[in-house]
Structure 1
Amino acid sequence: MKHPYGMECVVYREEDGTARRVGRERPEEAGRTVLKHLRELGEGEFGWVRLDSPAEREVADLTAGLGLHPLAVEDAVHARQRPKRERYGDVLAVALRTLWYVEEDSEVETGEVMVFLGPRFVMTVRHGPADPAAEAARRLAADPATLRFGPVSVLHAVLDVVVDAYSDAAGKVRADLTRLERCVFSPSRDDLTEEIYSLKREVLEFRDAVGPLVPVVREFAAGPRSQWPQGVLPYFRDVADHLHRTDTEVRSLDELLNSALDAHLARVGTWQNDDMRRISAWAAILAIPTMVAGLYGMNFEHMPELGWEFGYPLAVGVMAAAAGLLYRAFRRNGWL
């Protein structure tokens, strides 16, 4: 659900973690006001500006005042970026894919968040229903000590929320895959090809969100050239570790889905072979009665035992006995 306000700005004091909201208006009305507050920040303060699916005209004054590169603004407004990091002067731009799993439809839904990190400000731009910034703000309020690291603490909080959502979604995909595996190896003969393929497509979308983010977070954990406080690096290493585990999990899910699809197709082939053997067995059983009945239907002048009163029962008995022997043989060999 879209936030009722297009822009929200909070000013944090690094020393004690206190926060005050200075703007909660629509972007076209709040851009100049927020920019004014950011320019008037006191010592040890930084601002966090949160935007929800803005249009370029709505944030023109704000982005120009913050010195954001036009390419960065274009990425933020139009979205659909792969996870990445770019540096424009003293502003770091990080693109993240938000992700959640809809169990009812077995679908992975994605959105996007752009994070712009400056010396004394952070700006997050959200696209899609999921809003990691709201949970990140709650975590920062619960642990204000992390705000001593300045704007980078917001980047860590947003990354932490996004990666936790990845982990939660991976667990739900794993549960759906386990259910599919039980169905694949169950006695029932349901066709699961489309269901397996649909889940695989969702896992591939999952990989597109997680995979490119791994080297980005690893670089943050190693300490970027922006000279972040050394105390914040363990926090990024923790996020990198969680992300690496999720990436490994998603890759294993993809491989297991390939195996499940191969196993299902093999079982479908086995079912088809069983059907063909049954058809062949019944055709063989019916072949002898058909041959005998066809022989007597040829209307020869001299037919065997036509004048004998037990000739007809004997012919029927021979057909039944031959069919019964073949049926028994096929049952013994597992064809029927």
Structure 2
Amino acid sequence: MAMTRVRPRATMSLFKPRSRPHGVPVQSAAPDTSVIDWAAYIDGHRVCTGSVADAVRLVRDGRLDAPDEGSAGFVWVGLHEPSAAELTDLAEVFGLHPLAVEDAVHAHQRPKLERYDDVNFFVMKTVGYVAREPDQAEVVETGEIMVFCGTDFVVTVRHGAHGELGSVRRTLERLPGRLALGPTAVLHAIADRVVDGYVSVADAVQEDIDEVEEAVFSPERTDEARRIYRLKREVIQLKRAVGPLAGPLRHLAGRRFVPDDIKEYLRDVEDHLTRVREQVESYDELLNPILQAHMTQVTVADNQDMRRISAWGALFMVPTAIAGIYGMNFDKMPELRWDYGYPAVLSVIALSCLALYRGFRRNGWL
């Protein structure tokens, strides 16, 4: 497939070059730009350039001319939360569709795979399990990674604090044979890193569920209802990120532009995604009985408290009733003039209370 030629005017205005020491392989973004890193890759090896425009010109107008075999190189541009103006500049050079550019700027998209002419637009959710103030409770935070994948370029747009791709780039650069397969190798590496993030967060949530389960069934009385409900909310958040990615990833593995070697890796990523999706879906099956068991324990504990209160109330009712009867101040009442009446009444009260106490203890009320 013939390469699209660079539009000179757009290319010249695309992110002005920055001076850096000779021989430094990794570019650092300027404070006023969202570009994290960029490079041209020729036969799997990185070629550093002074600007994104230079990298594009190198790949499209340089010494690469293999029309029968396709492009021998590509450009990889990584951005973090870019502005509309920055993505518009890239769109002019790489031919990105305006609808996809709008999605990449505003984010908040479901995982999906869309094709615009020769450019594939892949959206993935990233997740992280972080502690929040004031109680340091861990919650699932999500971000997004959008990938524009063309025949000779990859543009990655990241939103949120999670899903850092610098390590992905460094890992791939140590595998020139994989990078030589083209932009789809980058697409696979990003999908693999995202799914690995799902696995890490799912394992962390599993540990919290195990802790809650242990606390619920421990002999100590604890109130775990709030924590269980929080975990159920985080599981729902995790399911919203993991579940919708299955369809786009399966379709990606079946696309014709993906080399067979990369399809094998994508199927492996899909298998990992299936396992973590089933793992996350099973969390509801774990949390529901844990919550039911906890509520049952709370109900049983409340009933025990009520029985204990009722038992002590019955014990106090006996002396109260006897004292009330002999406190009515009638002249003709039995044993009012008896010398041993007072100790006899006290003995009756004590024996009655003792009999009730032993009965309640035998039945487990006290």
Q: Does the alignment pair 1:256 with 2:286?
A: yes
Q: What residue number does 1:187 align with?
A: 219
| Partner of residue 244 from structure 1, selected from 268, 274, 297 | 274
Structure 2 CA distance, aligned partners of 1:145 and 1:126? 26
Q: What residue number does 1:11 align with?
A: 40
- Amino acid of the residue matched to residue 178 of structure 1? D
Query: Greater CA deviation, 290-299 or 143-152?
Result: 143-152
Q: What residue number does 2:176 align with?
A: 144
Instruction: Name the SS of the counterpart of 1:206 in structure 2.
Output: helix
Instruction: Name the SS of the counterpart of 1:125 in structure 2.
Output: strand
Q: Does the alignment pair 1:39 with 2:67?
A: no
Q: What residue number does 1:21 align with?
A: 48
Q: Does the alignment pair 1:321 with 2:348?
A: no
Instruction: Name the SS of the counterpart of 1:149 in structure 2.
Output: coil
Q: What residue number does 2:126 align with?
A: 98
Shift in Å at residue 162 of structure 1? 0.7
Q: Does the alignment pair 1:289 with 2:310?
A: no
Q: Does the Cα contact within 8 Å between 2:192 and 2:269 map onto a contact in 1?
A: yes
Q: What residue number does 1:118 align with?
A: 150
Structure 2 CA distance, aligned partners of 1:19 and 1:250? 38
| Partner of residue 300 from structure 2, selected from 260, 266, 270 | 270
| Partner of residue 108 from structure 2, selected from 62, 76, 80 | 80
- Specify every segment of 5 or more residues in structure 2 that has no aligned partner in the other structure, as ranges: 1-27, 66-71
Instruction: Name the SS of the counterpart of 1:73 in structure 2.
Output: helix
- Amino acid of the residue matched to residue 207 of structure 2? A
Instruction: Name the SS of the counterpart of 2:49 in structure 1.
Output: strand
- Amino acid of the residue matched to residue 286 of structure 1? F
Q: Does the alignment pair 1:233 with 2:252?
A: no
Structure 1 CA distance, aligned partners of 2:48 and 2:186? 15
Instruction: Name the SS of the counterpart of 2:77 in structure 1.
Output: strand
Shift in Å at residue 96 of structure 1? 0.8
Shift in Å at residue 284 of structure 1? 1.7
- Specify every segment of 5 or more residues in structure 1 that has no aligned partner in the other structure, as ranges: 25-29
Shift in Å at residue 82 of structure 1? 1.4
- Amino acid of the residue matched to residue 98 of structure 1? T
Q: Does the Cα contact within 8 Å between 1:114 and 1:125 map onto a contact in 2?
A: yes
Instruction: Give a deviation string over 1:100-156, Cα, whole Å, max 9, x none.
Output: 112553111211110111111111001112244212212212322222321100000
Shift in Å at residue 23 of structure 1? 5.2
Higher helix fraction (1 or 2): 1
Shift in Å at residue 204 of structure 1? 0.9
| Partner of residue 218 from structure 1, selected from 250, 260, 268 | 250
Shift in Å at residue 64 of structure 1? 2.2
Shift in Å at residue 67 of structure 1? 1.4
- Amino acid of the residue matched to residue 82 of structure 2? P
Q: What residue number does 1:27 align with?
A: none
Q: What residue number does 2:339 align with?
A: 309
Q: Does the Cα contact within 8 Å between 1:110 and 1:128 map onto a contact in 2?
A: yes
Shift in Å at residue 278 of structure 1? 0.8
Report the aligned-residue RMSD.
1.9
| Partner of residue 160 from structure 2, selected from 128, 137, 145 | 128
| Length, aligned pairs only | 325
- Amino acid of the residue matched to residue 260 of structure 2? Q
Q: Does the Cα contact within 8 Å between 1:35 and 1:62 map onto a contact in 2?
A: no
Q: Does the Cα contact within 8 Å between 2:87 and 2:105 map onto a contact in 1?
A: no
- Amino acid of the residue matched to residue 60 of structure 2? R
Instruction: Name the SS of the counterpart of 1:100 in structure 2.
Output: strand
Q: Does the Cα contact within 8 Å between 1:135 and 1:161 map onto a contact in 2?
A: no
Shift in Å at residue 6 of structure 1? 2.0
Instruction: Name the SS of the counterpart of 2:314 in structure 1.
Output: helix
Instruction: Give a deviation string over 1:250-283, Cα, whole Å, max 9, x none.
Output: 1112321222222111111111111111111112
Structure 1 CA distance, aligned partners of 2:336 and 2:169? 100
Change (3 A) 1:269 1:23: farther
Structure 2 CA distance, aligned partners of 1:111 and 1:23? 30
Q: What residue number does 1:53 align with?
A: 81
Instruction: Name the SS of the counterpart of 1:182 in structure 2.
Output: helix
Structure 2 CA distance, aligned partners of 1:257 and 1:135? 35
